[in-house]
Structure formats: C-alpha cells, structure tokens
Amino acid sequence: MSNIAKAFEDKKAFIAFITAGYPDAEISKDIIRAAAEAGADIIEIGIPFSDPTAEGPVIQAANAAALAGGITTDKIFDMVEELRRDISIPLCFMTYANVVYSYGTGSEDFIKKCAQTGIDGIILPDVPFEEKQEFDEVCRRHEVDFISLVAPTSKERISMIAGEASGFVYVVSSLGVTGVRNEITTDIGGMVSLIKEATDVPCAVGFGISTPEQAKKMASLSDGAIVGSAIIKIISGHGKDAPAKVYEYVKEMADAVHSAH
C-alpha cells in the first residue's frame, strides 16, 4: 500500500492544495508547514504553469504571480527537500504534462526526481486516461502514484479509470474549472459507487469545496475532500500573514472531514 493510500486508513482524508511560490517561495513553505500542522492528511503542491487549463481565476492568478516571482521546477524540488525535514505526510505534485516533459530529458527525469525528493504522487489534469500509460509506467517504476481523475462526464469510463488507479481517485465534483461553488449538485454518490465497484483504492472529492459543511458532506459520500481555491483565496488576501490564517482554516476543514462517517 502506498503512503497516499495509507493516509485514508481508519479515517476520511483532508487534502489541501497550495501553489508553490505564492505569494513567494519562503511564505509558501510556511503555508505548507502550517497546513500539515493543522491536520491536512495529504498536501497537493501546485507547480505553476503558464496555461493551467483546469484552473479557475483564483489559482490562475496565483500561478502567474509565482512565475513572475521567479519560481521554477528546480526551486520547487529544493523546497520539497527542505520541507521533508519536518513534514512526514504524503505530498503530491499537481501540474501539467508540459512541465513534466520540459524537465531535464522528460518524464523519466521528472518522476525520478519526485521519488528522490519525497513526492508520493503526481496529478496531471490535462492527461486523458487513454494517454496516461507513458507517465504511469515511469511512476510505477519509481513508486510514485499517478493519480487518476474522474469527472461527471466520465460516465461509462469511470470503472475503467478506477480499475487502473493508484494512490487515490480524484473525483471532480463539477464541470468546468476549479473554484469555490455555493452548491455541488453532481451525483457524487453514484460516481463513488462505480469507483468502489472497480477498485479498493480510496477516492476523494475536489473542485468547488470551500466550507466545513461541504467538506464533511463530500467526505461522507467518499473517502475524503480536496480544497484548493478557498485556500489560495486566503493566501491572496493575507500575504505574509497567510500561514496563520491557512492554519486556522485547514484545522476547521480537517476537523469537519475527520468527523464525517
């Protein structure tokens, strides 16, 4: 069982997304530490990309600011090495195929470096199931989970995607891009049932979750909840004071998820 799958043992998992290098490299390290201390079970670290097709305006703006501030993939790997001195929970990268391809000589170099620095999984939302093999093979070789996504439009493909999943299955709650939503109307229970029929790999729901009530509800329907845009909004509003504010928010959200049944 992978470190990521273990994070779901005996409890629902709260997964926090944080953009590396936003508002700057030092503060983003403190934010990641704060989220871990507050009870996040897994942290997704976003590697900024100039054309993040799955992201809404909040995370797009964070990507642009981090890139303008000089963040690079190598600097993010250095960040992870430093963070691994005091953070033991699973860490994943969330980024895009171009970032992986353009690192060194390609996916082999990137994923090997993930394994060396302590990254447990990668999420590439722009890689469809039919094209995942080239990444998945390298990930398995280096014992890094390649996280699969299923969306409301996946329908008959959900069982197929879930059947080959590792780490956890990322259940996309809503159509469109990431961002806070007042209400999630997708039949999450139906999607989760199809996943559970196909695999023992846990699944967590993301896209649109921002309140403890939403997080608890989504976790009660699945194995966990993922929150990104709401955290990035807090960071954008508080700058150097963001670590303390993120700690408060993540603690509230993690407590809600951990209380779900």
Q: What is the pLDDT of residues 234-259, one digit of tens each?
A: 999 999 999 999 999 999 999 999 99
Separation of alpha carbons 127 and 7, rounded Å: 25
Q: For residue 182, what pLDDT is reported?
A: 56
126 phi and psi angles, rounded to 5 deg: -95, 5
Q: What is the pTM of this model?
A: 0.95
Q: Say whether pLDDT at 185 is over 70.
A: no
Query: What pLDDT band is residue 186 in, cutting at 50, 70 and 90?
Result: confident
**Residues 144-156: tens digit of each pLDDT:** 999 999 998 888 8
| Domain covering 3-258: architecture | Alpha-Beta Barrel (3.20)
User: Is residue 232 within 8 Å of 22, Cβ to Cβ?
Assistant: yes
pLDDT band of 1, cuts 50, 70, 90: confident
Which residue would you say has higher pLDDT here, 173 or 194? 194
pLDDT for 208: 87
Res. 179: pLDDT tops 50: no
pLDDT at 65 over 80: yes
Q: Do 256 and 224 form a contact (C-beta atoms < 8 A)?
A: no
Largest separation between any pair of C-alpha atoms in the chain: 46
Ordered by start, the domain boundaries in the chain are: 3-258
Average pLDDT of the residues in 56-84: 96
Residues 24 and 28: their CA atoms lie apart, in Å, by 6
- Mean pLDDT, to the nearest integer, of 21-46? 98
Which pair of structure tokens corresponds to residue 150? Answer: 């299923």
Backbone phi and psi for residue 34, each to the nearest 5 degrees, phi listed first? -65, -40
